[in-house]
Chains A and B, each alone.
Chain A
Amino acid sequence: MLPLDEIHSALHKVPWFNGLTVEHFNKIASLARLRQVKAGTIFFREGDRQDYVYIVLEGRVSLDIFVPHHGKVRFYTAEPYDVFGWSSVTPGMRQRTAGAEAVLESTVACFDAESLRQLAENDHDFGYLLMRRLANVVASRLMVTRLQLIDMFAGPVETVND
């Protein structure tokens, strides 16, 4: 566990945290742990019952799904200040639907999701800010997913003369 001010200074680099009140910031910072990991470190696997939400501070974490005949398909990479594992914050989702692996040497901040959910429950102002941030994360992830789904680089389906 790193000293509190190191955690604080790391979190202050993330734009969202700077919008919080001092009280809220301290509350959420108290839940944070910093982890520095080597490339190849797996944070969680599909199916894990694991309850953390993460923010990448440095490096890169890929999210992947294992597809038979295709192997491990990486469908998203979380870059610095990206959130991953956010489904923990929502009520309901408790099993991981994807895996998360550091593909580069990375530093992440992880938050115990149960405590975060408690925090949100007890302090609705904070809870609102958290959910609002989460909605933005999901929205941006949805946009990216839609564009990936459209498969814009795929060739045309029919064969025609030029």
Chain B
Amino acid sequence: MTDKNPTIGSSVSLPKSELDNLLANLRKMGFQTIGPCLQDESIVYKGVQGLKDLPQGIQSEQLPSSYRLIQSGKPRYFDFIPGSHSWKQLLFPPRHTLFTVVKDGSWQFKENEDQEQSYALIGVRACELAAIHVQDKVFLRSDFSDPVYRKRREGLFILAVNCLDPDATCFCTSMGTGPKHTTGFDLCITELDEVFLVEIGSELGRSLIADRNFDFPSAFVQTAANQAIEHANESILRRLDTSDLPGLLMENLDADQWTDVGKRCLACANCTQVCPTCFCWDATDRVDILGKSSVRERIWDSCFNPKFSYVVGGNTRPNIRSRYRQWLTHKLGAWQGQFGVLGCVGCGRCITWCPAGIDLTAEVEAIRAEVKA
């Protein structure tokens, strides 16, 4: 314990082992600490106790339709780029019981008591935080506020991490979302070999750091961190030109490119599952065999699903071409008018996890080229 007083906006140098104590403190406060773990040759988000659960010495390599992890041998805990999981699954759970109806004479409701979930997200990347901010605009509005999302969002603790080793599918720089965090976190880590450089973003973050064995960072540490961030910035080569969006897509609904991508796309819905901003959902009833009770659930849905746009008398989007077009013109087009921002944060998950290797940045470029010709 030191008697130095860190301030919000300042940075401290934290020995890595102190992270264990910090997470323990969070748990004492009632948070569930959720972070990245190595599982099934990928990175998943689940409960983490401390450093021992984090993927030490792991780096990732991503290409369209490819995600690989390799041992780097480095003493780093956050060198990888996250996998198919995103924080969306905690704030907007894939399955959620809304209520039960039981027939006791007549039908009655039994509400689902939504347990208090206080999450501490460990290792949030800049694109992921940007995605949370996009989903805030979707789920928390003046005309409609999702109670499930709201309860989880209000108590959220965010321990952010600056990406230092972006992968080939990342394009956060084009969307203005990264790789460096700017705001919206409680704590933000830039990891060096020996220590964590931790920027304090909130009062809660400050109080957690104040209890730890920290140091004010040396010039060496600061410089090394800045250089690493600079290097990360420059290593992102994939680009999405957004200067003519949303118009480029919204005004070219009849482009040949849609037919082209429609032939390649399998409508597997992977992209919508892994995308941290996609928000479509469905509600289903599960009736027991006696017909005396029914559970109503909210589940994730996808505009690629065949029945997604079924109406009486037919389906308004019966072909994959029209469904892919719907997804992309919504994500990079209609979203802007609906929520004031584009729906894409440049995380690249859709490119990596598409089994057909479809790259939306290439699709946009192809449409641009077709329109200019």
Contact = CB atoms under 8 A, between A and B. Distances in A.
Interface string A137-162: 00000000000000000011000100
A160 B307 contact: yes
Contacts of A156: 312-314
Interface string B303-320: 000010010111000000
A160 B310 CA distance: 9
A156 B307 CA distance: 14
A156 B313 CA distance: 4
Interface residues of B, number: 5
B283 to A, nearest CB: 12
Contacts of A155: 313
Nearest to B284: A161
Nearest to A152: B313
A157 B53 CA distance: 55
Interface residues of A, number: 3
Nearest to A160: B310
Nearest to B313: A156
A155 B311 CA distance: 12
B164 to A, nearest CB: 49
Contacts of A160: 307, 310
B282 to A, nearest CB: 11
Interface in A109-162: 155-156, 160
B312 to A, nearest CB: 6
Interface string B256-288: 000000000000000000000000000000000
B316 to A, nearest CB: 13
Contacts of B313: 155-156
Contacts of B310: 160
B311 to A, nearest CB: 9
A85 B314 CA distance: 38
A111 to B, nearest CB: 43
Nearest to B311: A156
Nearest to B307: A160
Interface in B304-352: 307, 310, 312-314
Nearest to A158: B314
A155 B313 CA distance: 6
A155 B314 CA distance: 10
B204 to A, nearest CB: 46
Nearest to B315: A160
A49 B312 CA distance: 45
Contacts of B307: 160
Nearest to B314: A156
Nearest to A156: B313
A160 B307 CA distance: 10
B177 to A, nearest CB: 39
A133 B209 CA distance: 89
A151 to B, nearest CB: 10
A34 B23 CA distance: 98
B228 to A, nearest CB: 53
B368 to A, nearest CB: 38
B314 to A, nearest CB: 7
A160 B314 CA distance: 10
A160 B318 CA distance: 15
A3 to B, nearest CB: 55
A51 to B, nearest CB: 43
A156 B314 CA distance: 7
Nearest to B312: A156
Interface of A: 155-156, 160
Interface of B: 307, 310, 312-314
6 contacts: A155-B313, A156-B312, A156-B313, A156-B314, A160-B307, A160-B310
Across chains A and B, which 6 residue pairs bring their CB atoms closest together, nearest first?
Answer: A156-B313, A156-B312, A160-B310, A156-B314, A160-B307, A155-B313
